[in-house]
Amino acid sequence: MLISWIGCGLVADLILGDPPTWPHPVKLIGKLIALFTKWFNRENYSDKAKQWLGAVMWIAVIGITAGVTALIMWAVQDYKWLQFIVASYLCYTCLSVKGLAIESHKIMKSLKQGDLIKARYQVGMIVGRDTVQLTDEEVCKATIETVAENTCDGVIAPMMFLFIGGPVLGLTYKAVNTLDSMVGYQNEKYRAIGRVSAIIDDVFNYIPARLSWLFLVLSTVLLRFDTRQAVSVGFRDREHHKSPNSGFSEAVVAGALSLRLGGPHNYFGQRVDKPYIGNANGNPADVGAIASTLRLLYVAAVLSFLIFTFIWIGVYQLGGYFF
């Protein structure tokens, strides 16, 4: 049943994306995090107090998410068709392939029409950096880096956790990732309150990031991109990032498409120096490179599902052999 739930969830995501008017667990998780942040991240609290409160917030958000999801799955377990529908929907909400592609296509369309101001606004909806002064190429780079990073965060990681623990663990991961995306910034406002969330997100993404590296390299083979450079640059620059995980997928994309990603960015008005990823003589990032990155995203998503399914069946059969 688990494979069919995840498979239906993936197909639904590839077809539907994330319609903004539809109910979505991550929206509720985000509102819960915003409420805790309002309560705990007060200016008169010391950094030490904020760190402890950040840990309390993490435990509360994760506990509520896992508990509610488990309760839902328990409530429908005796009604097979209802269980199938509910579980498939919850799996669907854990994956973000089509939604990311839709946002990227909006940016591509604006750039093709020469509307840089609109493209800056649109890329600002999917990245955390300041976007008001970005050039055309910088908008493209920001989009490519986001698609590459979210190949792990939005596809490979949640799919791996879905195969391990079904919708409960899948949505637990989404809560971990949402906490990091909302409060895991290394700036004055969130550094203390988000410290625990940022550290634990790195732990959760450690294995998925390295699997994403592998799946993206395999995708370059299927798409006939530059696999040699994907492996070379991907191996050399995989740790050229402030995050211990984000550089893995970005490095493969940079190598496969002969791009130079990374470098300094501004976040909330503060300059953050990041290492460069890719060769110095790489091609300029453009709309075509965004389209190629999306192709890598789609192929890696389908490939990961097939490989995880093969592994899951093998483990299940092995377990039946011994037990």
DSSP letter for each residue of 160-172: HHHHHHHHHHHHH
Assess whether pLDDT exceeds 90 at residue 240.
Answer: no
Average pLDDT, rounded, for the chain: 92
SS3 call for 41: coil
The long-range contacts involving 260-268, CB below 8 angstroms and separated by at least 24 positions, are 261/141, 261/144, 261/145, 261/148, 261/285, 262/145, 265/129, 265/130, 266/129, 266/130, 266/133, 267/128, 267/129, 267/130, 267/185, 267/187, 268/130, 268/185, 268/187, 268/189
How far apart CA 95 and CA 17 sit, in angstroms, is: 9
Asked whether the predicted pLDDT for residue 204 surpasses 90, the reply is yes
Q: How many CB atoms are located within 10 Å of the residue 147 CB?
A: 24
Domain coordinates in residue numbering, the chain = 2-322
Q: Is the pLDDT of residue 262 over 90?
A: no
Percent of the chain with pLDDT over 70: 95
In this prediction, residues 69-98 reach a mean pLDDT of 97
Query: In whole angstroms, what is the distance from residue 226 CA to residue 217 CA?
Result: 9
User: Does residue 120 contact residue 131 with C-beta atoms inside 8 Å?
Assistant: yes
Q: What is the pLDDT of residues 15-74, one digit of tens each?
A: 999 888 888 999 999 999 999 999 999 988 898 999 999 999 999 999 999 999 999 999
Q: What are phi and psi of 220, to 5 degrees?
A: -65, -30
* Rg from Cα positions in the chain: 20
Q: Which helix (H) or strand (E) holds 276?
A: strand 276-277
* pLDDT given for residue 315 in this prediction: 81
Number of H helices, E strands in the chain: 13, 4
Q: Distance between CA atoms of 205 and 176, rounded to whole angstroms?
A: 10
Q: Is the dihedral of CA 124, 127, 133, 137 positive or negative?
A: negative
Mean pLDDT of 160-181: 97
What span, in angstroms and rounded, lies between the C-alpha atoms of 135 and 119?
Answer: 10
Average pLDDT over residues 304-308: 97
Q: Are 60 and 36 in contact, with CB atoms under 8 Å apart?
A: yes
pLDDT in tens, 130-143: 788 889 999 999 99
Mean pLDDT value across residues 76-86: 96
Which pTM was predicted?
0.94
